[in-house]
């Protein structure tokens, strides 16, 4: 047992180091996690014989559940709403069409049995959330036309459909009574949705309306609810991935307290989940078998990447008048990865007898996809002129925070102010504030302790940025011509008691509002909400 603990520690340290240096190699860290798993596997230096598909399925389902939850939790609905319809069509109709095209290719061209062709199409039909989220974040890909949000929603929401197709495929392969399939589809969708919404409503109520959860235990409570969602969904035959993803979206876009503590906790949990999944997949693989399945894997990967995926993307997105460049980028970003391999493990764990080495074929395709498509995604984005230099992809996630933890404030010192004719060292600044400079007419003075403050000076202070408390928050609202606040004074607004307009930004001007302040088109209104 002692050696096993040491081995686990060494694997985690190696994966952390690989994550740190992956950028230098120009490839996703997930590939290195797989490589470390293969290094410890039966054909590696450690020579660990591991073929327990049942245990792997159990562990990877839980790990994938946390990845799905965090993907949903970080999906900022306000940013994602404009592309939601397109993303949902890709994650539903797109998955079904991709599965159908791949099935036909495997059956008619590669001469797979029909049931196995269906399963190959099913497990490869979904893009991988773990890979897409990781690459967008790590590479900081700021994509035009809302493509980042489109990919996030698609990759996060298409696993449930792919999993459902996989379950149906298992029924077909095993020759089970297909009359059960309609109920399986019903249970997967309806129970998954109902449990996800129910848990979200209950969790939001507990976190916002009660004091049951002691500060600091919010994260443990949410972790427990995620596990509860996975368990309940499996118990009644619901789609656990749909349940957890929906729970994550609803929770992440609600006003729960201590969200600043929840984010880093689950960021760590998700990273650990990715390490566990990809390491175990590498450990489970048998590289000596790759030679026999490489031609088949490459054939399916090429068809999927250059024919099936583009055909589906263009068919769905072109009616929305999406540009060719946008369609090409979305096509290339359709990475296959952990979810496809996990679904193939589900098939193997069920004891299904297959003529083809499904796991290693899917493993090889996913490896090629993440290694080639994932590595080249930034270059392809630049080649297609889809990089947006004016935005930050992190703003599409709920956990986004500005890098700077300070803000600048201009303080006008009128004649007669109690700071007038005093030295910087003699005045009591707000806690954490530092006087940086004084604007005196056209003169800019870098302040020191012996700098004298005069009437009429503009004192520039550096102060700590505001951090939302447990029960309050600051928000910015962009005022447009169709906003019901536009061209109305603050006095005319019917504001709730818990909301105060703290500031109005108008171009370069910051206005401290009074009752007669007129809100205009183009203003940015900062509101304080308790």
Crossing angle of the two packed helices 192-209 and 218-236, in degrees rounded to 10: 160
Same domain flag for 350 and 412: no
Structure tokens at 121: 């199409």
Same domain flag for 447 and 477: no
**SS3 of 27, please?**
coil
CATH of the domain at 441: 3.30.70.1450
Same domain flag for 355 and 497: no
pLDDT at 403: 41
In this structure, is residue 401 part of a structural domain? Answer: no
Label residue 255 left, alpha or beta by phi (over 0 means left) and psi (-120 to 50 means alpha): beta
Residues 6 or more apart in contact with residue 496 via CB below 8 angstroms: none
Same domain flag for 341 and 415: no
Rounded to a whole number, what is the distance in angstroms from the first to the last CA of the chain?
A: 52
Same domain flag for 414 and 482: no
Where are the strands (E) in 136-208, listed by range? none
Same domain flag for 360 and 489: no
Domain total for the chain? 3
In this structure, is residue 496 part of a structural domain? Answer: yes
In this structure, is residue 348 part of a structural domain? Answer: yes
Query: Which residues does the chain have with pLDDT short of 50?
Result: 392-393, 396, 399-405, 470
User: Of the residues 375, 396, 417, which one is the last residue of a structural domain?
Assistant: 396
The single residue listed with the structure tokens 């998700």 is: 270
Same domain flag for 430 and 518: no
In this structure, is residue 47 part of a structural domain? Answer: no
Same domain flag for 235 and 377: yes
C-beta atoms surrounding 458 within 10 Å: 14
Same domain flag for 148 and 266: yes
User: Of the residues 464, 499, 514, which one is the last residue of a structural domain?
Assistant: 464
How far apart are the C-alpha atoms of 441 and 463, rounded to whole Å? Answer: 23
The single residue listed with the structure tokens 């505001």 is: 466
Q: What angle do CA 270, 273, 278 make, to 5 degrees?
A: 130
Same domain flag for 352 and 422: no
User: Of the residues 346, 374, 396, which one is the last residue of a structural domain?
Assistant: 396
In this structure, is residue 125 part of a structural domain? Answer: yes
Reference 134, options 115, 114, 155; nearest CA is: 155
Q: What domain range includes position 218? A: 2-40+52-396
In this structure, is residue 258 part of a structural domain? Answer: yes
Structure tokens at 143: 């994509």
In this structure, is residue 206 part of a structural domain? Answer: yes
CATH of the domain at 67: 1.20.1530.20
Reference 166, options 99, 242, 109, 67; nearest CA is: 99
In this structure, is residue 46 part of a structural domain? Answer: no
For the residues of 465-505, what is the DSSP string, one character each?
PP---SS-EEEEEE--TTSTTTTEEGGGS---TTEEEEEEE
Same domain flag for 432 and 506: no
pLDDT at 470: 46
How far apart are the C-alpha atoms of 529 and 527, rounded to whole Å? Answer: 6
Same domain flag for 106 and 227: yes
Crossing angle of the two packed helices 53-73 and 240-252, in degrees rounded to 10: 30
């Amino acid at each position: 047992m002692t050696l096993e603990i040491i081995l686990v520690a060494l694997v985690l340290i190696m994966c952390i180091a690989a994550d740190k240096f992956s950028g230098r190699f120009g490839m996703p860290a997930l590939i290195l996690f797989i490589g470390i798993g293969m290094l410890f596997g039966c054909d590696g230096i450690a020579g660990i014989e591991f073929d327990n598909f049942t245990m792997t399925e159990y562990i990877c389902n839980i790990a994938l559940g946390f990845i799905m939850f965090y993907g949903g939790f970080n999906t900022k609905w306000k940013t994602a709403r404009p592309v939601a319809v397109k993303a949902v069509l890709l994650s539903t109709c797109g998955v079904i069409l991709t599965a159908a095209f791949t099935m036909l290719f495997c059956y008619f061209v590669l001469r797979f049995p029909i049931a196995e062709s269906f399963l190959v199409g099913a497990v490869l039909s979904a893009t991988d959330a773990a890979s897409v989220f990781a690459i967008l974040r790590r590479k900081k890909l700021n994509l035009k036309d809302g493509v980042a949000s489109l990919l996030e929603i698609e990759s996060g929401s298409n696993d449930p459909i792919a999993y459902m197709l996989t379950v149906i495929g298992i029924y077909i392969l095993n020759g089970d009574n297909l009359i059960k399939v309609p109920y399986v589809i019903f249970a997967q969708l309806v129970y998954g949705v109902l449990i996800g919404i129910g848990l979200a409503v209950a969790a939001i109520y507990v976190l916002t309306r009660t004091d049951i959860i002691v500060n600091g235990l919010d994260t443990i409570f949410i972790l427990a609810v995620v596990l509860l969602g996975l368990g309940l969904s499996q118990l009644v035959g619901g789609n656990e991935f749909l349940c957890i993803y929906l729970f994550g979206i609803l929770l992440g876009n609600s006003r729960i307290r201590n969200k600043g503590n929840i984010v880093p906790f689950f960021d760590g949990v998700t990273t650990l989940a990715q390490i566990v999944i990809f390491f175990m997949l590498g450990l489970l693989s048998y590289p000596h078998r790759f030679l026999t399945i490489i031609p088949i894997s490459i054939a399916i990967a090429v068809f999927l990447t250059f024919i099936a995926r583009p055909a589906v993307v263009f068919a769905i997105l072109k009616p929305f008048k999406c540009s060719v460049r946008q369609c090409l980028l979305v096509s290339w970003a359709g990475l296959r990865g952990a979810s496809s391999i996990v679904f193939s493990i589900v098939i193997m764990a069920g004891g299904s007898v297959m003529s083809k080495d499904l796991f290693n074929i899917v493993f090889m395709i996913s490896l090629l996809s993440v290694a080639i498509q994932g590595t080249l995604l930034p270059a392809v984005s630049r080649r297609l002129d889809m990089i947006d230099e004016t935005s930050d992809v992190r703003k599409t996630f709920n956990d986004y925070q500005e890098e700077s933890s300070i803000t600048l404030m201009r303080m006008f010192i009128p004649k007669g102010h109690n700071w007038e004719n005093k030295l910087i060292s003699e005045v009591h600044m707000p806690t954490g504030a530092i006087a940086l400079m004084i604007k005196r007419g056209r003169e800019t003075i870098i302040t020191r302790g012996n700098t004298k403050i005069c009437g009429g000076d503009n004192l520039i202070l550096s102060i700590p940025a505001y951090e939302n408390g447990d029960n309050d928050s600051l928000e910015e609202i962009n005022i447009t011509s169709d906003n019901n606040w536009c061209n109305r004074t603050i006095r005319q607004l019917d504001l709730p008691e818990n909301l105060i307009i703290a500031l109005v930004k108008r171009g370069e001007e910051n206005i401290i509002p009074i009752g007669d302040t007129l809100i205009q088109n183009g203003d940015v209104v900062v509101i304080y909400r308790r």
